[in-house]
Amino acid sequence: MSTDTKDTPSVSPEDVELAETFKNEANEYFKKQSYNAAIELYTKAIEQNPNVPVYYSNRSFAYLKTECFGYALNDATKSIELDPTYVKGFYRRADAHMSIGKWKLAQKDYEYVTKVRPNDKDAKLKLNECSKVVKKLAFEKAISVEDKKKFIADTINLDAMTIEDNYSGPQLEDGKVTEQFMKELMQLYKDQGTLHRKFAFKILLDIKKYFMAQPSLVDVTIPDKEKFTVCGDIHGQFYDLMNIFELNGLPSKTNPYLFNGDFVDRGSFSVECIFTLFGYKLLYPDHFYMSRGNHESATMNQMYGFDGEVKFKYNAQMAELFTEVYNWLPLAHCLNKRVLVMHGGLFSRDDVTLDEIRTIERNRQPPDEGPMCELLWSDPQPQDGRAPSKRGVGCQFGPDVTHAFIKLNKLDYIIRSHEVKDSGYEVAHEGRCITVFSAPNYCDTMGNKGAFINLTGESMVPKYIVYDAVPHPDVRPMMYSTNSLMYRLC
């Protein structure tokens, strides 16, 4: 490793030794999947000796594991600045770019890695994946000018799909979802069965039509004495979703739910989760609600498993249809005109109103900036003001931003999801910003609790129900993902 030390601070031998101690200790925490502890120790190593590319590269890897893609990108870039030939720095930077959908930049860095290390199979795999996506995006851009693109939904012929004699799973009744169908569907999924493709396509076509008629901001009225449940990220953890229904009751007209985005990806039972949720949305359209998350997008689905899972369990046509459906998911819900619920968070501007959210043209892939992006990607921070996002997309917003927003829009507080919390939830910004995360032991590694929120229409005071993960079949998370982040520590 050739490190140019002309402009680097001088460091004593004692600092060098102490930094290595911190780094080695951090590596042990990383191996135990205690990523936040590892990040703290890598930071201490950097404070003792800021001249070592490895420290930034390793911290970048830990940030990738905690989905702080913006921080990971910064650290990887710093490691390359310290040593322009440092291969792992390019690898980390490529992973960070890939994680936020910057495919061309990722492709360039993977090309460097494969040139220097031609036998690196993982880098070759990711380079091929990036190259495919870059070509696909270029092709789609080229044909978009015709404005005659046919939607996948318009190409599906349900009448041509036959139901085989040996299919014994649930069937729609006169093309409709019923309570009995949903009970049979969930049992089928618990037994690791597959819903027939004809019924799966019918559900997707029907749900697309429903969402197309919805506004970007849905107003929900909760009667005074009625319980209303808000759930956060599920991330393909079907058996934990079943546990929520066990703890809190099945969805019904008297037991309404709102699921706040990130239904899929990461967990390898995403197909089961999304058809269960879509089924209940069709069964109880006025008592079951779904908001779009940042993972309801083509880029995230391609990297984090859902696209591959749909192709494995069904086909590529269905995977494309899901993208069309997700584009029409509502972006936020306002409960009793008092609580705004969105997946990510607030905005880089102070003047965003509920009326502006209602007018967002959402039938598209999430943009890199602006209110739609921030609703899906932003995160709170403890200090006042705003900061660049740790994820590399959206922004971070402080208590003053939250207070100004709820005052402007005459709200009590906001509920958002999007972030793993050890307790399954977190109350921040003097109680005005609540995070709820409903995927316990996220990715089978994080050890966090899951939680959901119960409200009643009269008080709108949140009650938190916390639970542990439940067992699931021996199928690992990210089973169908192309984004393995496998490169070793140093």
Structure tokens at 351: 């003047």
Residue 338 · residue 412 · CB < 8 Å? yes
What distance, in Å, lies between the first and last C-alpha atoms of the chain? 12
Backbone region of residue 262 per phi and psi (left: phi > 0; alpha: psi in -120 to 50; beta: other values): left
Q: Give the count of alpha carbons within 13 A of 394, CB side only.
A: 26
Model-wide pTM > 0.85: yes
Instruction: Give every strand in the sheet of 450-456, ordered side by side.
Output: 288-290, 257-259, 227-231, 450-456, 463-467
pLDDT at residue 410 in the model: 98
- Report the 10 Å Cβ neighbour count for 288: 21
All residue ranges of the chain with pLDDT < 70 are 1-8, 140, 143-149, 482-490
Tokens encoding 279: 């089924």
pLDDT, residue 98, reads 87
| Cα 329 to Cα 322: distance, rounded to the nearest angstrom | 11
Residue 177 phi/psi, 5-degree rounding, is -80, 135
Which residue segments constitute the domains of the chain, with CATH numbers given?
Answer: 13-143 (1.25.40.10), 179-488 (3.60.21.10)
- Among 172, 239, 235, 229, residue whose Cα is nearest residue 204: 172
Check residue 99 and give its pLDDT. 86
Q: Residue 3's pLDDT is what? A: 45
What is the crossing angle of helices 270-283 and 238-248, to 10°?
40
Given 295, 333, 418, 429, the catalytic residue: 295
Q: What is the pLDDT of residues 424-440, one digit of tens each?
A: 999 999 999 999 999 99
Cβ proximity of 369 and 424 under 8 Å: no
Q: What is the pLDDT of residue 413?
A: 98
pLDDT reported for residue 4:
46
Tell me how far apart the alpha carbons of residues 99 and 463 are, in angstroms, rounded to a whole number. 34
Residue 110 · residue 126 · CB < 8 Å: yes
CA atoms of 459 and 56, how far apart (whole Å): 48
Contact indicator for 339, 461 with CB cutoff of 8 Å:
no
Q: What are phi and psi of 453, to 5 degrees?
A: -115, 130
Structure token pair of residue 449: 């609790």
Specify whether 295 is catalytic. yes
**pLDDT score for 5:** 44
pLDDT, one tens digit per residue, over 53-110 is: 999 999 999 999 898 999 999 999 999 999 999 999 999 999 999 888 888 999 999 9
Quote the distance between the C-alpha of residue 368 and its chain's center.
15
Q: What is the pLDDT of residues 233-283, one digit of tens each?
A: 999 999 999 999 999 999 999 999 999 999 999 999 999 999 999 999 999
Q: What is the pLDDT of residue 86?
A: 95
Find, among 328, 404, 325, 414, the residue nearest to 372 by Cα.
328
Give Cα separations from 484 to 90, 99, 264, 428, 479 (angstroms): 16, 11, 17, 33, 9
- Measured CA to CA, the distance from residue 471 to residue 391 in angstroms comes to 30
Contacts of 144 by beta carbon, 8 Å cutoff, 6+ apart: none
DSSP state of 157: -
Question: What is the rounded radius of gyration, in angstroms, for the C-alpha atoms of the chain?
Answer: 23
Question: How far, in Å, CA of 244 to CA of 341, rounded?
Answer: 19
